[in-house]
Amino acid sequence: MNLANWLARSATLTPDAPALLHGAEVVATYAGFADRAARIATGLHGRGAVAGDRLALFMSNTPDYLAIWWGAWWAGLAVVPINSKLHEKEAAYIAQHSGARFAAVSVANLVAMSLTYLADVDEVYPTDAALYAAPMSHGAGCYNLMHVMKGARHVVPRSGGFEPAEILELAGSVGSIHMFAAPTMVRRLITHAEAVGHRGEGIRTIVYGGGPMYVADIEKAVDQFGPRFVQIYGQGETPMTITGLPRHLVADRTHPRWRERLGSVGIAMSSMEVRTVDEAGRDVPEDEVGEVICRGPSVMSAYWQNPDATASTLRDGWLWTGDMGALDAEGFLTLKDRSKDMIVSGGTNIYPREVEEVLLRHPDVAEVAVVGRPHEDWGEEVVAFVVGRAGPVDPAALDALCQSEIARFKRPKEYIVVEALPKNNYGKVLKTALRERFAKAPA
């Protein structure tokens, strides 16, 4: 199947419906969107492109992004979205290699992703508007598919990025907004909304994921905006589709274990099987930590031109995610950390997220990242990078908090106060960059 059928169908059903918006201004109807895609396809064919060729998309968010994306599909090409913030050399490498991830997938997995979304995450109506406040080369862009399928609107903020004030303004003028947001974006949006007294009017759904959402943050977000949040857990290898925490569970405060559920990534999506296993692939008992593996139609068929990576990641039909997590009796999955972020100190595993959750409860702490620092005797020791809220941060107070909440061996041995944490432009904290600081300046 060619996914461009979805665009052609929406253009036939609702030719005059608004499709592409730049800020609040409509720049194309569905007929116009489909026409542009068809003309781009003709242009590509005219330049010798044939079905199966790959088109690298190296540009920041604009309405043209979607026209080119669907034009490439219309022409039968595969799209390789490249983060526009990458260095030209890095982008050139990806273009040359033709996309280690997305180019490798057949479209069947994107169909599965879209249908699973409609079954488990959210319904989509023609009156909705997908707002792209995060780079379209990543998760946010994935969500354009179901909105094209259903003939909804696509809104690219004029700033081209994530500006809380602009988003709340668009929620008012465009309405029925749906957006994907990394946890750090949710936090910034809510901080701004609190300051201006906005209660989420005009926002229908915020899908969050891509990194850990701390319980304190999502609690606050629900207090401010109400039941508008859905969590998803996925990865490039099975785009946006492994587990989900549906809206009513994100907002529920009645279940005896609602806080634990809020700290989880939810339950397996309808098309997915999810297990937690040891290194040999044996299921670990309930509530114990193992590597998360999953199976389902949204999983990629292979990495592009990388058989070794494919063989270690796809084993007997299961995708090994590299994430460590625990399943409870009801099937809720709680992620501990990426296996590479786990700290091993004195032979014991320490999951940084657990320590971070505790530290974030301190009123002076705005953000925190816990990592392992190489240590002669212990292998690694726990170190916390802390961003203060306003004034100074007192390490003794943080240590006292940890003492009252978690085992002694998990307590950070040092608190390093920093202005900001290094993040990529999807808002993920770059723990590798923090660990590299130790390599440069040993303790």
Binding site for ligand AMP (CB under 6 A): 209-212, 231, 233-236, 265, 321, 323, 335, 338
Residue with smaller CB distance to ligand AMP, 58 or 320: 320
Residue with smaller CB distance to ligand AMP, 38 or 299: 299
Residue with smaller CB distance to ligand AMP, 341 or 380: 341
For CA atoms 236, 242, 248, 250, the dihedral sign is negative
The distance of closest approach from Cβ of residue 321 to ligand AMP in the complex, given in angstroms and rounded to an integer, is 5
The distance of closest approach from Cβ of residue 271 to ligand AMP in the complex, given in angstroms and rounded to an integer, is 17
Q: Between vectors from CA 120 to CA 165 and to CA 103, what angle results, nearest 5°? A: 80
Residue 107: φ, ψ to 5°? -75, -15
The distance of closest approach from Cβ of residue 371 to ligand AMP in the complex, given in angstroms and rounded to an integer, is 15
The distance of closest approach from Cβ of residue 139 to ligand AMP in the complex, given in angstroms and rounded to an integer, is 6
Q: Are 129 and 176 in contact (CB under 8 A)?
A: yes
Long-range pairs for 142-147 at CB < 8 Å and ≥24 separation?
142/110, 142/113, 142/180, 142/239, 142/240, 143/117, 143/178, 143/180, 143/207, 143/240, 144/66, 144/69, 145/3, 145/6, 145/110, 145/113, 145/114, 146/114, 146/117, 146/118, 147/178
The distance of closest approach from Cβ of residue 26 to ligand AMP in the complex, given in angstroms and rounded to an integer, is 31
The residue whose two tokens read 């949204």 is: 298
Residue with smaller CB distance to ligand AMP, 151 or 325: 325
Residue with smaller CB distance to ligand AMP, 158 or 338: 338
The distance of closest approach from Cβ of residue 204 to ligand AMP in the complex, given in angstroms and rounded to an integer, is 20
The distance of closest approach from Cβ of residue 233 to ligand AMP in the complex, given in angstroms and rounded to an integer, is 4
Residue with smaller CB distance to ligand AMP, 152 or 267: 267
- Residue 126 one-letter amino acid: P
Residue with smaller CB distance to ligand AMP, 45 or 338: 338
Residue with smaller CB distance to ligand AMP, 323 or 381: 323
User: Could you tell me how many residues make up the chain?
Assistant: 443
The distance of closest approach from Cβ of residue 207 to ligand AMP in the complex, given in angstroms and rounded to an integer, is 10
